[in-house]
Structures are given as structure tokens and as C-alpha cells.
Structure 1
């Protein structure tokens, strides 16, 4: 089904943001693993997988609309030098993804592409309710208990708190 060129172009822009977030999560996850902060490593490895799933959904939609997915482009990733900066950088990246999703959803409404809109609404819900919420919650914990206590709380094995 031939889709709107505007929507395909915007989907490719969104794909670039999702792939960039995926790369940043991978880098941070591996840094946490190297530092022995296993709960954060596990959480960021999970976020990496979710960004991959988001990317796959966008690629599938671009292909359905008879477009060509741009899987090579990336924005600059922002690798932090400490836990707090890494979480802040991830939050900034997720907020950019959410803003782009909202703009793309609006464009889908104008172009009457309701199926793409619905798919993007699910991605936005996951981005806001899972990724952004979790990052804001953990940055709030750092403010409440201090960075050393926070890092210590994230060192044990098991699922991330």
C-alpha cells in the first residue's frame, strides 16, 4: 500500500531516534556491567531490547507503506561519565523521542493514516509510562538518598527496583 511520502519520511526520522536511543542504552548498559552495577545493567539491557522492538515496528510500517527504511542514520549519542549523568542523558533522549512521536502522531492525523497513528500511540505510551517515568523516578531517588546510596542500591543482582 503506497503511503504518504511525508509520513514515510517522518517514520524514518523516528527510526533514527529509536536506533540512536538503542545505541546509547547499549553503551550505558555495558558501562554499568563493567562497573558492577548489575541492576542498572539489566534495566538498560531491557531498554535496549525495547528500543529494538520499537525500531522493528517502525521498519515494518515503512515497508508496508512501500518506503525504504533508513537503518544507517543516527543522531549523536550522549554517553555519560557517571551514573547520574547517564540517567539524565537517557531521559533527555527519551523526551526527544516522545516529542517526535507526538509530532508524528499529529501528522498521521492530518494525512488520515490512522493505523500508523495507532501504532505510534502505543510506542508513545511505552516511552512515557515506562522509560521516562522510570528515569524520572530514579533521578528523584538520587536526589533523595544521594548518588553513593543509589549506586549501592543498584549493585545487587535481581530485577531493577
Structure 2
């Protein structure tokens, strides 16, 4: 099967992003737990699981295309000294994901790769939902202060 190298590049970038997100959310979950903020720790752990599911779906697509998945050069974990800083860092991570998936989706559509496009579009919608969830958490925090 002949696969567009740029499509593989987008899928690999997306996989690297997702694995970086898993690492960040898990580390932040540990930090929140150490702060005693169990609700935030559980939310961050749940986010890590969702990002892992995205990574699994991307890996499956890469394998279907005959390529061994390989996430490289994971982004460093960004922590923070407060819940607000964590949420700001995570929002930036999710906004980056939205941009990545928008660009990757546009490429897949140009290439008429409907299977990859469907995968990317599905994950894109989930990443947009993540941004909205973070915004809601920030609003809830503001309303409690």
C-alpha cells in the first residue's frame, strides 16, 4: 500500500502530541494529589486516559498503513504552583492539539484519505471538547473565589 509520507508525518506528530499529553496529565495528577486536591487529581487522571485512547487510535491507523508507531521527542511536562497555572498550561496544550488536528485533517482531506480524515476529525472534536471543559473548570473556580 502506498501511503503519503506527509500523512504519516501528521499521524506521527499527533501521536507524539498525545503521548506528551498523557505524560503531562499524569504528572499533574500526581502533583494535584500531593496538594490534597483529589477532585482535580482524578480529573487530570481521566484526561490522561482520554489522551491515551487517542494515542491508541492513532497507533492503530499507523499500523493499518503498515508503519510501526513511534512517538519521539515528547514535550517536557509543564507543572505549576497552582490550579490556575495547571489549567492555563493544559488549555494551551489542548489549543495546540486543536490546531494540529485542524491542519492534519485539512491535509488528509486534500489527499482524499477518508479513513485518516475521519479519525482526525473525531479526535479534533474531542480536543475541542477538552478546551471547553478546561474553560468550564476555570469558570467554576472563578465563581468559587
TM-score normalised by L of structure 1: 0.85
Indicate yes or no: 2:69 matched with 1:69. Answer: yes
The structure having more radius of gyration, on CA atoms, is 1
Aligned length: 145
Q: Match for residue 79 of structure 1?
A: 79
**2:77 match: secondary structure:** coil
Q: Match for residue 145 of structure 1?
A: 144
CA deviation after TM superposition for structure 1 residue 120, in Å = 1.1
Deviates more, 1:64-73 or 1:93-102: 64-73
CA deviation after TM superposition for structure 1 residue 83, in Å = 0.8
Q: How does 1:43-62 map to 2 (within 5 A)?
A: 43-62=43-62
Gaps of 5+ in 1: 147-161
**2:44 match: secondary structure:** helix
**What is the Cα-based RMSD across aligned positions, in Å?**
1.2
Runs of 4 or more off by more than 3 Å in structure 1?
Answer: none
User: Bigger relative contact order, structure 1 or 2, given CA contacts below 8 A and separation 6+?
Assistant: 1
TM-score normalised by L of structure 2: 0.94
Aligned partners of 1:65 and 1:3: how far apart in 2? 7
* Cα pair 2:27 2:77 within 8 Å, conserved: no
Aligned partners of 2:41 and 2:90: how far apart in 1? 13
* Cα pair 2:21 2:93 within 8 Å, conserved: yes
CA deviation after TM superposition for structure 1 residue 125, in Å = 1.1
CA deviation after TM superposition for structure 1 residue 91, in Å = 0.6
